[in-house]
């Protein structure tokens, strides 16, 4: 105790004892008890597989800002989707790389039923 910490009356409980903000080691000794009191549980059901789609066939181009991640043509994106399904990943997030000549202020290219993202979605669903 220092001069800045007020003395507790005898028998008074501290904030840690009331709120449980201190994690007691005895609760973490055995594996079964750690699983019982764990705060978070992450399973394959919580995952979403990102797929970056680009025009073309057999295209696998690296994304400089994300080492180990590639933009894939639709045929390769379908294979990646199959891989995700085999691993039990329940959802995909597809991100198109739209040619700069097709971009405008309102994103009207998205309305085209034959744009890259719509074709990729149809191919993956089939």
Q: Is the dihedral of CA 115, 71, 125, 56 positive or negative?
A: positive
Is the pLDDT reported for residue 18 higher than 60?
A: no
Q: What is the pLDDT of residue 123?
A: 95
- How far CA 67 is from CA of 61, 62, 71, 97, 109, in Å, comes to 11, 7, 12, 17, 29
**Rounded Cα–Cα distance for residues 106 and 74 (Å):** 25
Segment 22-78, tens digit of pLDDT: 666 666 678 887 777 777 888 899 999 999 999 999 999 999 999 999 999 999 999
Q: Across the strands, what pairs with 70?
A: 62
């Amino acid at each position: 105790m220092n001069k800045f910490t007020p003395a507790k009356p005898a028998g008074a409980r501290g904030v840690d004892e009331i709120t449980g903000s201190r994690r007691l080691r005895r609760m973490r000794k055995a594996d079964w008890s750690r699983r019982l009191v764990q705060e978070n549980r992450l399973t394959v059901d919580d995952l979403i597989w990102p797929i970056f789609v680009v025009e073309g066939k057999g295209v696998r181009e690296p994304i400089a800002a994300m080492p180990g991640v590639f933009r894939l043509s639709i045929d390769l994106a379908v294979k990646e989707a199959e891989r995700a399904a085999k691993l039990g990943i329940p959802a995909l997030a597809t991100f198109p790389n739209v040619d700069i000549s097709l971009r405008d202020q309102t994103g009207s290219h998205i309305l085209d039923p034959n744009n890259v993202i719509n074709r990729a979605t149809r191919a993956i669903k089939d």
